[in-house]
Structure formats: structure tokens, C-alpha cells
Amino acid sequence: MPDSPKSNSSKLRVITGILIGMPVLACVVAGPRLSGLALVLLAVTIGLWELHGLLFEVPLPGKWRPISFAAGLFLPSLTYTWGITGLNCALFISFFSALTFMMISAPLDRDEIGRIAMLCFAWLYVPYLLSFVLLIWDKPDGRFWILFVLAVIVAGDSGAYFTGRKLGRRRLYPEVSPKKTVEGSIGGLCSSMVAGPVIGLIFLRTVPLASICIFSLAVAVAGQVGDLIESMLKRNSGKKDSSGLIPGHGGVLDRLDSLLFAFPVLWVLLQLSAAGGHGWF
């Protein structure tokens, strides 16, 4: 009996996910620090290209494209060099440079203000958020914390997908994402709450289990909200996927959407935990 289209789609999704995930996992676990920057720069480049297609109804003028990609690569590069200070400096320099370029090239063109606003949003949404990967990488046990986020998000995505297919009845937010269900969301959260503590018990043994559970829940919720945010952007642009670059998955942004806010949320929790004096909640 031939496989159904849904079965073939699921197989393709799994195979593609493995082919992409294994090199990423190898870099996180055993790669040099520079490999983390290389992964982020690659994701930023493709992610910005896809986001331009979602944000701009009319293609971005050629004179702005080099500025957009240069700024996008500048943010993680300075983060890699100077940490959070470098990230803030890069964001300011990019914004200041864009306004200065407008003043020199087209000071009275009101459309340019809208383009700069969109570009700033793009810089915040992709390179700024992804730069938190590098901030976490440099923390004690940073690689394991990145592995923790990946495990929580991948488990949550998989749990939501398969639970939604089998048990999904009630729509979660049909205006933004018609196929997502309440049951799928709950299944995703449950899967994340299993994966997070497992990674914690194996690789982060000095962290109390209660803290790991709090972090798992926060990262899982951030991942689901991030997924809905990208769905909202695609819905506004009238597109189903950010691109067709990854068979069975759509575009790079379609794979990063859950991670974009998950890494910053974990970084904030780690900062707050360290500021508490005891190191953990």
C-alpha cells in the first residue's frame, strides 16, 4: 500500500531535520567557539533574506541591501568580540548609520523612514535575538545550556506536531495560525517539560531540578509564542512559509521561529539567577 502524502511529508520533515540538526549539534557539543559564530552568521544571512521577503511588499532598493546585511552580520560579530556591550554598540551604530545614509542619499524621501523602521525591526528580530546564542555560549556550561534550549524546543515542536495531528480538536489561534491546536500546544509543553529536566540531569547536575523545570517551562512558552509571532508575520505578508529552502520545513525562519525568543529568555533567567546571589532561583 503506497504511503499517504501526510506520511511522506512527515518522513521528509524528519530526514531533513536530522541532516540539518546533526552538524549543528556537532558544532555545539565539540566545535570551537568560532563555529558558534559561523552558525549564527549563516542563520542571520539567510534569515534576513527571508525576512526581507516578508516585510517589504516592494523589493528593498539595491542601495539598502548591503547596509541591511552588513548590519545583520555586525551585531553577532561584535557580540562575539565584546559580549553584551558589543551587541548594544553594534545596534546603535547600525541605527545611526542608517539614518546618516538617509540624510546623505535622500533626506526628503518619506518612504526611506519606513524602510529604516522595517530594517531596524529586521535587525532586532533576527541578528539581535540570535546574538544571545553567543552570549550564552560564553557562560559557564554555555554549550550545555544551548543544548538544553535546543532539546526543549525540538521536543516541544515535535510533541506539538504529533499531538496536534492525533488529538487536535480546538484551534489555538486561528487568526494567526489556523492549524495549531490547544491539544498540540499542551502536548508540546509536556514534551518540553520532559526533555529539559533530562538534559539538566545529564549535563547540568549542579543546577537544582526545580530551577531546570522553571527554565524549561519559560523556554517552552517563549518558543510557542515565537512560533506564533512568525506565523503572524507570514499571515500579514500572505505567505505560507518564509521560503522553500528546507524541504518539509519551509524556510530557515520557519525553523528558527521558536528559538529566536527562547535563547534571550534563557539568558535573562540566567542573569537574574546570578544576580540573586545564590546562582539559581
Cell numbers found for residue 54: 516578508
- Whether 188 and 163 have beta carbons less than 8 Å apart is answered as yes
- The pTM (predicted TM-score) of the whole model is 0.94
How many Å apart are CA 26 and CA 148, to the nearest integer? Answer: 14
The predicted structure's pLDDT at residue 1? 46
The Cα 80–Cα 105 span in angstroms is 32
Question: CA–CA separation, 128 vs 21, rounded Å?
Answer: 22
Q: Which residue has the cell 515565537?
A: 226
User: How many angstroms separate the Cα of 73 from the Cα of each of 126, 135, 159, 181?
Assistant: 10, 15, 33, 36
Q: Which amino acid is at 93?
A: I
The residue ranges of every structural domain in the chain are: 32-138, 140-281
**What is the secondary structure of 138-192 as a DSSP string?**
TSTTHHHHHHHHHHHHHHHHHHHHHHHHHH--SEEETTTEEEEEHHHHHHHHHHH
Output the tens digit of pLDDT for each of the chain's 281 residues. Answer: 455 555 556 677 778 878 888 999 999 999 999 999 999 999 999 999 999 999 998 899 999 999 999 999 999 999 999 999 999 999 999 999 999 999 999 999 999 999 999 999 999 999 999 999 999 999 999 999 999 999 999 999 999 999 999 999 999 999 999 999 999 999 999 999 999 999 999 999 999 999 999 999 999 999 999 999 999 999 999 999 999 888 877 899 999 999 999 999 999 999 999 987 655 55
